[in-house]
Amino acid sequence: MKTIHVVCKREKKDALEIAGEIVKRFGDGSRVVIEEEAASHIGYEDRFEMEHVGEGADVIVVLGGDGTLLSVSRHGKGSEVPIVGVNLGGLGFLTETSIEETAVTLDRVLKDDFTISKRIMLDVRVMRGGDSIFEMTILNDAVITKDALARIIDIETYVNDAYLTTYKADGLIVSTPTGSTGYSMAAGGPLMYPSLTNLIVTPICPHTLTNRPIILPESVVIRAVLKAMNEKVILTLDGQVGFPLGYADEVIVKKSDHFVHLVKSARGYFEILRTKLKWGER
């Protein structure tokens, strides 16, 4: 018997209804386990805590938007269980599967008739005075940004200890190819095919017009040192987790040993780009 973990966007009615339908359709031949908060909403007893998502599961079903899937990817890092992302949100670059495709896609996965898109993750660490004070593994991006009222900040940046430049900007983004369609794209960064393993460094509103995004190989270690004094600066991870930075703090980013395995939908990547970004429309 295969085990299905179901994660719902919190308090979203559609997600809870679909979770109940998954239990009815697949509960006889498989064990369906639902994240505890959603399970309590629908009165379901077989549940798990989010910190244990993917443990002992054969597939994870995410019912929500890209934000829900990003949360699952961080909590479930290391399990590398195939994830079916069902789009109940907005753009849905990560949650490729439509509501109508959910049952058919999940049935294929349970029969081992599916393909995956293997996505790299990033290990992010903050060093202060030689000590590691914060670390996390993420899927999309690490963003250093100033407070709304702060002045332009200086970010001294190194690649494998070789000095790259000191960005004078509103901030700096280090992104995976998966995250290239997010904040990095909005800041003028390139789109990258999601199965690639490069890292993207994109300045946010740089004061020097010659500063441009740069694509780096997967083997590098990026070190960004904050040189702004008396300014409010924050490190934001996947747009969901924040950590305040101080003068001389070092943000170290490198490709993780962990991957996220997303189940591919029937639609191809370029179709998704055309649909979500309206390519070719006038």
Based on the fold, state whether residues 83 and 165 are members of the same structural domain: no
Domains of the chain: total: 2
Residue 134 shares a structural domain with residue 219: yes
- For residue 235, the enclosing domain spans 121-257
Q: What is the DSSP string of the chain?
A: -EEEEEEE-TT-HHHHHHHHHHHHHHTTTEEEEEEHHHHHHHT---EE-GGGTTTT-SEEEEEE-HHHHHHHHHHTTTT---EEEEE-SSS-SS--B-TTTHHHHHHHHHTT---EEEEEEEEEEEEETTEEEEEEEESSEEEEEE-TT---EEEEEEETTEEEEEEEESEEEEE-SGGGGTHHHHTTPPP--TT---EEEEEES-SSTT---EEE-TT-EEEEEE--SS--EEEEETTTEEEEE-TT-EEEEEEEEEEEEEEP-SS-HHHHHHHHH-TT--
| Residue numbers annotated as active site | 66
The answer on 139 and 40 residing in a single domain is no
Q: Are residues 110 and 174 in the same domain?
A: no
pLDDT tens digits for 220-247?
999 999 998 888 999 999 999 999 999 9
Tens digit of each residue's pLDDT (9 = 90 or more) over 89-137: 666 778 888 888 899 999 999 999 999 999 999 999 999 999 999 999 9
Same domain, 176 and 273: no
Residues 42 and 103 in one domain: yes
Whether the model clears a pTM of 0.85, i.e. scores above it, the answer is: yes
